[in-house]
Chains A and B, each alone.
Chain A
Amino acid sequence: MPQYQEKTIVTRVEQLSADNVRLTLKAPDIAGTCKPGQFVMIRTAAGKDPLLRRPFSIHQADAAGSIQIYFKIVGRGTEILARVREGEELSVFGPLGKGFRINENVPVCLIGGGLGIAPMLFLAKEISRRKRVNTDNDIIILGGRSKGDVEPLMADFKQINMQTQAATDDGSFGEHGFVTDVLRKVQLSSNTIVYACGPEPMMGAIAAYCNDHNLECQVSVESVMACGMGACLGCNRPVDDGKYVHVCLDGPVFDAKELKWNL
């Protein structure tokens, strides 16, 4: 697996809502090798503070050599990153981790909650590109706290030939409720693969649902990490047998059954 520490140029900055930002970066090496579910580590500032890179899942990658990341301003690192301007340089390290496993012969259900929507666009595009059967039974469920978390991304998902549904906690866009409420209403055939990324309680609930209904479920989880490549060992996560896995190397995508869910 090739990895690159790339000096990228910011080619586009989109303020999608009050605190959600999308960046497009010219990163030909990473764009040419990355897979859906993989992530990059980005240095938000050149100096010593903040010191560490921040992990971001790859939101989109194209053949022209660009990648996108989509993030929410949650702390100092993302605050600095949100102020970046087109034409500026960012040091990006990646692609890192293991991505989603794709089976082009079965129906899929993609669920993204909040920032968990980020990797789902790349995944949906890749699945639809590779599909040998029709995508009539494929479904995308996007959720967030309110309209600003979901609505600005709908247009991109609608370009893909899969039915897309939305839910918001406050009912300001799509169904009033959680993505799991939508999941319970849709009919999934028994060979459907469910892909999920979002807040921990959401993924835990989806993991439990898939377990009950005997559906394969792949989740992309989040963790603090210093290096992103297996050196710091800071991103451990318990698995059922009292051992740990590392999100950066063993994940960030896991079979939901592998992980221990504290709910």
Chain B
Amino acid sequence: MEFVKYSADGPDLRVKIGSLELQNPVMTASGTFGYAREFESLMNLHRLGAVIVKGISLFPRPGNPPPRIVETACGMLNAIGLQNVGVDRFILEKMPYLNGLNVPTIVNILGGSIEEYREITKRLEGVPGVAGIEVNISCPNVKEGGVAFGGDPKMAAAVTQAVKESCSVPVIVKLSPNVTDVAEMARAVEGAGADSVSLINTLIGMAINLKKKRPELANIIGGLSGPAIKPVALRMVFEVSRAVSIPVIGIGGIESAEDALEFMLAGASAVQIGTANFVNPAASEDVLDGIIDYVNEEKLSSIRDLIGGLKLDWIA
């Protein structure tokens, strides 16, 4: 990767996602960080590597009826149903603030058809502050959440291509773990022009209230997130990073710098902090501070030296 010599204070934490250079590898995961402004008094937003906003659809969506969330062992299930203000209001009401931040905004998008993905992308193209697009082909909670695309390599490739054709910013495709072979999905979207893949989205799960003999979620099923899914996410990031040559972004139960660094060792160029934001609104900043300490203590010339550095030497 071509980086100009680093001159600012502190260690060199810069990473690249396609043509997008991030000041550090810590981003916030879509759907866990609102539109960033919600967190402005609780942390220093300007320190983030990038902000990934709540998934945006072509038209506003009210989301699913309650109950939408339930806590599970070391995690939570959600079935929010992609509640969002729609792309037009997003551009009008949310982007001006995001554009004022010193960090790139990556817009997570979702649609019910390839044409919808294309249309949302076209509307975002050229909007000041939109530095990248993350394509959600993997929301498990609504029919229109792209899950039909996330499970089929051909469909995933077609969506990727439509989005790529409609914008000039880097395109990240967010992969679903609810597939047999995640590496195959990653290769398919790489072949269609994706600049990066991010994974994992939530794992489909379910919780039952024995006393009421009812599901805990009105949607019956939901997406599992939090520390409970970290081992699955690490395995998938490891597999995908060996299958593709585009940058991989690790997501899944990251709460601490140690978690984030493990994902980077497994092959991730950057990470996203998700559910941890709910528990500790300053989680992403805490992760960043921990990464800085690690790079200093380990005397790394740059965080990039760590990416994919997992040692497998003792294995025959």
Contacts and interface: CB of A to CB of B under 8 A. Distances in A.
A238 B281 contact: no
A228 to B, nearest CB: 8
Given A232-B69, A232-B78, A236-B66, A226 B278 contact: yes
A132 interface: no
A231 B278 contact: yes
A12 to B, nearest CB: 26
The 9 closest A-B pairs by CB, nearest first: A234-B69, A227-B278, A226-B278, A48-B227, A48-B74, A231-B34, A234-B68, A49-B74, A230-B38
A51 interface: yes
B1 interface: no
A40 B279 CA distance: 12
Interface in B205-229: 226-227
Contacts of A180: none
A160 B156 CA distance: 65
Given A52-B279, A53-B278, A226-B78, 13 more contacts: A48-B74, A50-B71, A51-B71, A52-B278, A226-B71, A227-B278, A229-B38, A231-B39, A231-B277, A232-B69, A232-B80, A233-B68, A235-B66
A237 interface: yes
Contacts, number: 90
Interface in B59-108: 62-63, 65-71, 73-76, 78, 80, 83
Interface residues of B, number: 33
B80 A233 contact: yes
Given A5-B282, A224-B70, A227-B278, A234 B38 contact: no
Interface residues of A, number: 29
A244 B32 contact: no
A244 B32 CA distance: 19
A226 B76 contact: yes
A82 B154 CA distance: 54
Contacts of B76: 51-52, 226
A226 B41 contact: no
A230 B66 contact: no
A95 to B, nearest CB: 12
B63 A244 contact: yes
B189 to A, nearest CB: 27
A5 B74 CA distance: 21
Interface in B31-55: 32-34, 38-39, 41-42
